[in-house]
A and B are shown apart, each in its own frame.
Chain A
């Protein structure tokens, strides 16, 4: 017999995931416009791999395939993986990354809702550790036509010069190793745009737009993005004020790399993130702090992925320690 509540209008997991996919569209469109249609090929590749892997894993685990694939969560993971990777990595790297995300990070931990680590970030970290060279080849905007991009994705010979335009974070890091180099001097050079990396600023703005859609549709709350962006601005701002020659200014951190994609789409992954309001603030702030430390002092140019995984580990503790007070048990002694 069915029990109350008898009204169940909630849109379903599929509805939530669909909104996330929709919110990613502006970012993807700008990405393709700035850096060529290669990213679309990657997205398609990632999507197919994800759906196939999801279906295979569900069958192996003896679960109903239709419903679970239909929840679209695998597609969201696939898109986030593809958007995090450099756009011109060979096809097998994309496939491998998605497989790691779906099979290892998601299903080996028990499937949707059970994974302690953000699948997209787990895959990203695995790739950057395994293929550091391929993972640092980013194109400059408008550099290659679609045919050339397709050729690279399909595993054509990699003319390093054409695609070695490192990300701004990378350029900054290596550039600062040369004696006498300063942030300001470096930012006059090629990969840098007005605020962040040239071209990437626009992509970031489009992600921001998508993020507002998620906020408006109440798929995410403001806690994590705000805590993340504010903390990042704060720590980078303090460091920059103290030593402007060695540290990038806060707006640079906010506008470059995966900052905005992460703020609204990656750290907000509900399954592997904190759930209480205060916990979300701590979680977002923690990621920002660790990411900035890695960006500024670590071995990898982009620290968000590792920061996310690190904070994922802390989630149970954060949630446990930040349980909000329950109705009637708030402050003060009862009479």
Chain B
């Protein structure tokens, strides 16, 4: 037994009731094959996949049906054999209730696999391995769905430590726990494959100390290959940054790649998926999903991507008062717009919600500046200041107070005695900032166009003048020559031509210099030095809030918020859809034109996201500077605990 590793800690955090025991009573079950599968083309951060099949095509299980579109995109695969019914807009597993392109399959029940080719990892260069993972559709399965091949690039100074995240700190969710208990060897194998690709020196597997079985299973599997570390149970210990901090003491600031600090962090589910992809050639077509909450038999299921959530929850026996599903945990999960949205790669859990299990938030009260939020914030922010600035629409100040370092973990809102939906305010502020950023970019572009037109105009004018002068000079010279002697007129005209040429060059040089000066003088934009991860994160942030209710909630309290939503939605949906389609098309066009590298500019995907938010903004109720009037009814008071 080696010496105990020195652990670090992060500030803040909360300890919500775990609610985990119920869903670990039974082993993982395989969900039955559904008749219909709805595989969204857009399941990861980055661009949507490009469909490779058409309606009517027969597909095999594991067959690639959508190809990665650029570097920040991954392929999607047929989760079972069958026939393509259609490719078209389908409901997304997203609170916005938007439709997004998906491939709908009718399964044939035969489960006929496509030919799977295990990869000879040792004999394949890392770049090729990354491509294989991209084409196997591997993304982070902890919920962030960031394309894994992008994270498997060693940093500038190499990657020292590979961290496997088995902390699983969100209440209710137990799929990682069960995966580690039942498939520890596969997880470890995946970790070793990643260690090989990253050329990392050590593997640390961090697991919250409330999972003794998983710790034991992983320790037994790891032997001396990896160090399994029990970390204190405290939400959000499973946040990548928090876990990196706890295990190594390194704090990765917002907007920086952790590989630049010599560490990289992957979820245990991702490790297992990578093991399957490389050792068995099997793409990501299923995942473990915890079904819990308002159900009779909470349990973990292995579910094919594309299965309707309703069918999965039905296995666990939902109680009759179930009124909605939440994808993910109760702290950061997303409310689903309906019961028929498909399970996607991001679906680590489906919580059946009921008004008793997750009661509506109590009415918002004024902030009493108690500072509880600041004490709970794992990012060491001052959530109350962010709240004041966001509410006052003072976004510049909010950014100064590190708005974008907020990981939206929800700890602040969880502890706030005034029941302020703080995270909603931050989401709102972030989306406003991005919208403004985009407006500014558009304005900059327009200004540049305008200046270029002016410049061209100027140049044309001066060229004309030069030509005129030259012609005059030539005429004069010719006249003089004619008057003086019969000398050839060309000698006089010739010097005039190069003069005009030189003037043109000088003008162009001046314009170039001006443009450069402008560029140098322009204040650095927020977006300028972002890593691909951050851009993706932004995209995710944006994707999560394409919905009017976010702001409506803030604006009007729950009563107005809910009553406003149904009327606002249908009218807005079409416009929104059109805008998003346009944005997607634009993004694809741009991607075709630009090399999909980790550029320092905003990626096309992000722009697409932002375009989508603009759509949202147009119809979303604006945040009023004054607190909105309280709902007319007498709200129930929170019973003292």
A319 CA / B382 CA spacing, docked (Å) = 10
Q: Note all chain A residues with C-beta closer than 8 A to B402.
A: 326, 329
Bits for B396-412, please: 1 = Cβ < 8 Å to A, else 0: 00000110010000100
A280 to chain B, nearest CB (A): 8
Contact of A16 among B328, B370, B561 (CB under 8 A): B370
Indicate if the CB atoms of A328 and B252 lie closer than 8 Å: yes
Q: Which of B334, B371, B384, B637 is packed against the most chain A CB atoms within 10 Å?
A: B371
| Residues of A in contact, count (CB < 8 Å) | 49
Interface of B is mostly: loop
Docked-complex contact B365 and A13, CB < 8 angstroms: yes
Q: Are B549 and A1 in contact (CB under 8 A)?
A: yes
The answer to whether B629 touches A6 (Cβ under 8 A) is no
Contact B368 A13 (CB under 8 A): yes
Which chain A residues (51-74) contact chain B, with CB distance < 8 Å?
Answer: 62-64, 66-68, 70-71, 73
Interface contact A5-B330, CB-CB below 8 Å: yes
Assess the B380–A2 pair: CB atoms within 8 A: no
Whether A4 contacts B410 in the complex (CB less than 8 A), given A11-B638, A113-B366, A325-B380, comes out as: yes
Which residues of the other chain, A, contact B260 by a CB distance below 8 angstroms? 334-335
Binary contact track B610-641/A, C-beta < 8 Å → 1, others 0: 00000000000000000001111011011011
Q: Which of B358, B379, B638 contacts A12 (CB 8 A)?
A: B638
Instruction: List residues 567-585 of chain B with CB under 8 A from any CB of chain A.
Output: none
Known contacts A9-B16, A327-B405; is-contact A2 B358 (Cβ 8 Å): yes
A5 touches B637 (CB 8 A): no
Q: How far is the CB of A15 from chain B (nearest CB, A)?
A: 5
* Contact of A294 with B by CB under 8 A: no
Nearest-CB residue, chain A, relative to B565: A1
In contact, A10 and B419 (Cβ under 8 angstroms): yes
Question: CB of B213 within 8 A of chain A?
Answer: no
Return chain B residues, CB-CB under 8 Å to A218: 372
Assembled-state Cα–Cα distance A324/B12 (Å): 13
Q: Hey, which chain B residues are within 8 Å of A177, CB to CB?
A: none
Chain A residue with minimal CB distance to B331?
A5
Given A9-B414, A62-B629, A327-B405, A4 contacting B378 (CB threshold 8 A): no
The A contact surface, by secondary structure, is loop
> Contact: A5 with B414, CB < 8 Å?
yes
> Is B176 engaged at the interface, CB distance under 8 Å to the other chain?
no
B331 touches A112 (CB 8 A): no
Q: Are A6's CB and B630's CB within 8 A?
A: no
Q: Which residues of B contact A325 (CB under 8 A)?
A: 380
A8-B361, A114-B366 known; A3 vs B95 contact (CB < 8 Å): yes
Interface residues of B in 330-389 (CB under 8 A from A): 330-335, 353, 358, 360-363, 365-372, 374-375, 378-382, 384-385
Contact of A327 among B157, B241, B326, B401 (CB under 8 A): B241
Contact check, A3 vs B379: say whether CB atoms are below 8 A apart.
no
Query: Could you list 28 examples of A-B contacts with CB < 8 Å?
Result: A1-B565, A3-B95, A3-B421, A4-B331, A4-B423, A6-B333, A7-B171, A8-B361, A8-B414, A9-B414, A11-B641, A13-B418, A62-B629, A67-B634, A67-B637, A221-B375, A271-B369, A275-B369, A275-B384, A323-B382, A324-B382, A326-B380, A327-B253, A327-B378, A328-B251, A328-B256, A328-B405, A334-B253
Interface residues of A, Cβ cutoff 8 Å to B? 1-16, 18, 62-64, 66-68, 70-71, 73, 111-114, 218-219, 221, 270-271, 273, 275-276, 319, 323-330, 334-335
